Structure 1
Amino acid sequence: MTGDDNAPAATAGPWDCRLHIVTGKGGTGKTTIAGALAVALATGGRRVLLTEVEGRQQIAQLFDTPPLPYRERKVASAPGGGEVFALAIDADEALLEYLEMFYNLRRAGRALGRIGAVDFATTVAPGVRDVLLTGKVKEAVNRPDGTRPSGLAYDAVVLDAPPTGRIARFLNVTAEVAGLARMGPIRAQADSVMAVLAPERAAVHLVTLLEEMPVQETVDGIRELREVGLPVGAVVVNMVRSPLLAPGDLDLARRGQLDREELATGIKETGIEPTEELISNLAWEAAQHAERVALETAQRAEIAALGRPVYEVPLLADGVDLGSLYRFAEMLRAQRMVA
């Protein structure tokens, strides 16, 4: 996939679940991976919903579409006739739906919103906001549709979730509302969310880079998920770079022992005069690259020790665009992250 012979192979078959939750440290590209995963899941004629809950409209940016309203909208077609829909879940709108569903109070809810009561309630009891957000995801996972062969509106739902530092608390909604509501609609909603998060129905995938801080946050995130009994899925390593030197040359470069005559010959072959300064600079660059490869090798070992399937997508020099998203989706399918 990446041109790196040292890349670890996936250790499990496709993730056959209804809900795929994608998290990762900020800057690791979790929204990109969530989008690629949605396209991969939709390939072959399936219908997939991609959701976000952080109010940043990153899905719209990723698929180069106008900002998403609070309703599901098709954002992409997948190979084989599949469809990707998207939804930006808003806690206030979800609360209005909740009030209408359980209390027939949608109009009153809008009045509460105008006077700031919604913000007040979710500030006093922040767990309620998470219940509202995850509750909407749960509804999409379970929504029936008798016109489709599966009997469900979507074959899979992908959630672009909050970062790893908050993911366990965000998903563990029953614990979050335990002291607030021991019974009634709010507690029932939290319990129904946790039912959707059963291991046979959901998986939390973590996105990382081959860098110390993202890998450590991945390690911590998996530990926290396991502590609260949430289903840990795969680790997706994003922005992978292939070594530019052979293993033996990498070792020489790290020790500052590259053959300077060979460097000079290589420079000459490009049509450039190999000055001493240029040779020294090139040797320094090679040493820096070798150090980076050594760091990434160490981080790969940390990831492998987690005992989870690992998938990789490469760093793209020109950045990620819509075409890249389809390329990543094909890579995830080729690595058997999805069928």
Structure 2
Amino acid sequence: MATPPLDDAFDGVRLHVVTGKGGVGKTTVASALGLALARQGKRVLLAEVEGRQGISQTFGVPPLGTGEVRLVQDPSGGGLWGLSVDATAALLEYLQTFYKLGRAGGALEKMGVIDFATTIAPGVRDVLLTGKVYEAVGRTDGSRRGQGDPVWDAVVLDAPPTGRVARFLGVNEQVADLARVGPIHSQAESITRMLRDRISRVHVVTLLEEMPVQESADAVAELEAAGFPVGAMVVNQVREPVLAGPGLAALTGDDAEERVRADLALVGVRNGAKTVGGLVAEGRDLAARLALETELAAEVAAIGHPVLRLPSLPSGTEDGGVSVLADELTEQGVA
């Protein structure tokens, strides 16, 4: 089966949901994606929902609150804003929007009712978090929703990890089934429609390691079965091999020790058994790792979605690392 073109994962998309197994760098990738889009003249909102303040750490800014904070202003005219979506604030906003509670909402918070609802009631927290994202995607500069131009050209969501992202995105469908009528039912249905619409895509971040690749494949299957459109597979932290081709082959053949010993002698380096044995062992480990990565890369491609590859950064996201990754995404055709 032919892999869909990259345009299918980004053309016309306004909500980019980024997920991945813990430790694969999904926050870094989400940040790089947001920055890449902002550099193309777009107003972009980068939102997180797990309360880890990963965005503020990535960009080296104070912890984000419930308001949108500008992170980057680009010469193209675009910009990147950050937001840490808080379930409590989202619930108070929801109560005010639909029930006009005003000060009563604040009283409920002081009584602990809000905390109870967001931590005890099953699914309520995820409903509120996705609801805030829905509001951001649909927000316009007109007096009413749907009037005027969108405030955000794109929203990038640093979503929960692959193990629970399908449940997170699908929670509103369950709510709509429970609340058959009323504003809760209507909003839940609207959120679900948006998440399944062509303006939304879920991008899955992985590493060329066995567990992340398997979990990514499982997540894609689960997302597709639930009707959520998958965008691109992002292979993060790709390392360029320090040795390849004939040089690597020389360390893996039956005569590897003799060849290494001769090469060391040729350049005047000690070629004792310990040195030679260590070099050959490292070479064979490298060859085995490269073979495994090649196999895993084929498995990622076989999932059937466009693949983006981002390099490993020696110093992490410091010293402009996110900017480097944003450039990589742009060069590979992200728009």
Asked whether the two chains share a fold, i.e. TM above 0.5, the reply is yes
Q: Does 1:296 align with 2:290?
A: no
Would you say the 8 A contact 1:70–1:93 is kept in 2? yes
TM-score, length basis structure 1 = 0.90
Greater shift after overlay, 87-96 or 120-129? Answer: 120-129
Q: Does 1:310 align with 2:304?
A: no
Q: Does 1:104 align with 2:100?
A: yes
Structure 2 unaligned regions, length at least 5: none
Match of 2:17 among 4, 21, 25: 21
Deviation at 1:66, TM superposition (A): 0.3
Would you say the 8 A contact 1:233–1:308 is kept in 2? yes
Deviation at 1:268, TM superposition (A): 5.3
Q: Does 1:235 align with 2:233?
A: yes
State, as a whole percentage, how many aligned pairs show the same letter: 52
Cα distance in 2, alignment partners of residues 250 and 37 from structure 1: 35
Would you say the 8 A contact 2:87–2:118 is kept in 1? no
User: Equivalent residue of 1:193, what SS?
Assistant: helix
User: Equivalent residue of 1:196, what SS?
Assistant: helix
Alignment of 1:52-131 (within 5 A): 52-78=48-74, 80-131=76-127
Greater shift after overlay, 168-177 or 267-276? Answer: 267-276
Alignment of 1:263-278 (within 5 A): 263-267=260-264, 272-278=269-275
Shift in CA distance, 270/75, structure 1 to aligned 2, threshold 3 Å? farther
| Superposed CA RMSD | 2.2
Shift in CA distance, 179/151, structure 1 to aligned 2, threshold 3 Å? closer
Shift in CA distance, 260/42, structure 1 to aligned 2, threshold 3 Å? same
Partner of 1:12: 6
Cα distance in 1, alignment partners of residues 226 and 131 from structure 2: 19
Q: Give CA-to-partner distance per residue, 1:73-93, whole Å, 9 cap, x none.
A: 101133523210000000000
Shift in CA distance, 303/55, structure 1 to aligned 2, threshold 3 Å? same
Would you say the 8 A contact 2:45–2:155 is kept in 1? yes
Partner letter of residue 282 of structure 1? L
Partner of 1:200: 198
Partner letter of residue 68 of structure 2? E
Partner letter of residue 161 of structure 1? A
Q: Does 1:134 align with 2:130?
A: yes
Would you say the 8 A contact 1:172–1:194 is kept in 2? yes
Partner letter of residue 141 of structure 2? D
Alignment of 1:235-254 (within 5 A): 235-247=233-245, 250=248, 253-254=251-252
User: Equivalent residue of 1:44, what SS?
Assistant: coil
Match of 2:155 among 149, 153, 157: 157
Q: Give CA-to-partner distance per residue, 1:223-280, whole Å, 9 cap, x none.
A: 11011100111000000012233345545645x5353344235545776422221110
Q: Does 1:145 align with 2:141?
A: yes
TM-score, length basis structure 2 = 0.91
Shift in CA distance, 268/65, structure 1 to aligned 2, threshold 3 Å? farther
Partner letter of residue 186 of structure 2? A
User: Equivalent residue of 1:312, what SS?
Assistant: strand
Would you say how many aligned residue pairs link Structure 1 and Structure 2? 327
User: Equivalent residue of 1:20, what SS?
Assistant: strand
Cα distance in 2, alignment partners of residues 258 and 117 from structure 1: 73
Q: Give CA-to-partner distance per residue, 1:282-336, whole Å, 9 cap, x none.
A: 1101111111111111111111111100000111222222511111111111111
